[in-house]
Amino acid sequence: MTRSLPLLLALGLASACKGSPPLSPTDRPEGPRVVSLQPNATEILFALGAGPNVVGATRYCNHPDEARAVPRVGGILDVSLEAVLAARPDIVVGSPSVLRGHLGDLLDASGIRQVPVVFETADDVEPGIRAIGTAIGRGEAAEALAASYRTDLATLAGRAHRDPPLTVLLVVGRNPLVVAARSSYLGDLLARMGVANVASSDTMPYPTWSLEQAIRSAPDVIVDGAVEAGDLAALLADAGLSAARDGRVIRVRDEALLRPGPGTGRAALDLADEIRRVAADLPTRP
């Protein structure tokens, strides 16, 4: 091993002296170079038409499809500082907790502007769109997007309301069975659309349930938002949930729904409509 070390060292130094590769004129985009450390922010950037400006994103930034081609700088918690700096951004967008630590210090020292954004509930999307839009100089487009989002949310109110309200179980994890409770972002969407969430916990947003609890809750409709593959409907049907047996299970894969973002309003409207359709033959109060 000692013999190959000098070789390794020499190679390392040789490659190191090259530095970052220079950009050719054709791929320099208009506007500021942005690194996005949040998939929601990436979605917004692309929705604002600033896709070409995004020079770095997390490996979870898969939506829209074009985002998959953006160079990766790490994950959500495991961001590579070097990769961020190597992308030579003008702006870095991310959650406050990530920007607060050592990364924030380095960005400050480099004179790189930081835009902290929070995406925990559906209400966070509008201010997020505005903050990002203002930072990249697309304020007008941001206003338009925010307005459309607000309209969608307004239309969502009570969209799936019935008397008595439909009871819904929203599953986000198959094994173990993790459900979205009232205090979660998804639970909040359900509340807006006027259905009753069978998981009414206010303390834990995503509690783990036993199958027994699921059976007892006897929901009218089941929304399957679980990321794992597998037939949740069959599992719950075997367990005896009538909603599953009678085919009132809605499979949701849309990222736009599962994560607060510009497309959330639209996706939530679609879900509300689907819930109503599926529960159409359930009796209502006269």
The residue among 77 and 191 lying less far from other proteins, judged by its C-beta, is 77
Residues 195-224 that bind other proteins (CB under 8 A): 204-206, 208
Cβ nearer to other proteins, comparing 4 with 26: 4
> What is the footprint of other proteins within residues 100-119 (CB under 8 A)?
100-102, 105-106, 109-110
Question: Tokens representing 209?
Answer: 């349930």
- How many Å apart are CA 275 and CA 159, to the nearest integer? 10
Q: From CA 87, how far away is CA 187, in angstroms rounded?
A: 37
- Cβ atoms of 47 and 78 within 8 Å: the answer is no
56 touches 83 (CB < 8 A): yes
**Are the C-beta atoms of residues 38 and 77 closer than 8 Å to each other?**
no
Closest alpha carbon to 200 in 214, 180, 219, 216: 180
Cα–Cα distances in angstroms (integers) from residue 254 to residues 198, 204, 241, 244, in the given order = 22, 24, 24, 21
Per-residue interface string for the shown chain with other proteins, residues 10-39, x marking contact by CB under 8 A: --xx-xxxxxxx------------------
Choosing from 82, 140, 238, 246, the residue that interacts with other proteins (CB under 8 A) is 82
Nearest CB to other proteins, comparing residues 62 and 155: 62
Nearer Cβ to other proteins (68/253): 68
Structure tokens at 178: 């993790």
Q: By CB under 8 A, how many residues form the interface with other proteins? A: 40
Q: At what angle do helices 125-135 and 139-156 cross, to 10 degrees?
A: 170
Is 6 one of the binding residues for other proteins (CB under 8 A)? yes
Peptide bond into 21 cis (omega under 30): no
Nearer to other proteins, 13 or 280 (CB): 13
**Shortest distance, position 188 Cβ to other proteins, whole Å:** 15
Distance from chain centroid for Cα 37: 12
The one segment of 82-90, 212-220, 252-260, 273-281 that binds other proteins by CB under 8 A:
82-90
From candidates 66, 68, 75, 140, binder to other proteins by CB under 8 A: 75
229 binds other proteins (CB under 8 A): no
Which residue ranges make up the site for other proteins (CB under 8 A)? 1-2, 5-6, 8-9, 12-13, 15-21, 59, 72, 74-78, 80-83, 85-86, 88, 100-102, 105-106, 109-110, 204-206, 208
